[in-house]
A = this chain, B = another copy of it.
């Protein structure tokens, strides 16, 4: 039982499921799901939270999968580029995507107290931002939407 998107759930299987789904998709798209890449995704899925590159690197190093920064950054670049994980700008951290494969614009709810991160989604033309872009002629290619605040649990504890 781990907090995911602020809800509890038994996810003894969902790591394996997500990994095998990733494996399948990599095969289909001729992407190389190498041991380091696979292990980094697995780490993100296990922890089910945002993790810094160096935090991940520490784990890889302890397991003999490499000890230099590029090892972690290369794996993360691969995962992010191919939609298996997201970078969370606000935290300089990374988290496994909760609905990989589907085309989507992720948005995050970040608890400033317990550091939990939930992924939800938004549109590329997120409300007024899209309107502003259309007004000015700006062509949006990517949108970062990250909210910071208190998750249900921490909000209750604080009240």
Contacts and interface: CB of A to CB of B under 8 A. Distances in A.
A149 B141 contact: yes
A6 B136 CA distance: 8
Q: How many of chain A's residues touch chain B, expressed as a range?
A: 35 or more
A90 B147 contact: no
A77 B141 CA distance: 30
A10 B136 CA distance: 18
Contacts of A136: 5-7, 109, 118, 151-152
Given A120-B129, A128-B107, A129-B120, A142 B149 contact: yes
A147 B120 contact: no
A122 interface: yes
A127 B137 contact: no
Contacts of A107: 128-129, 132
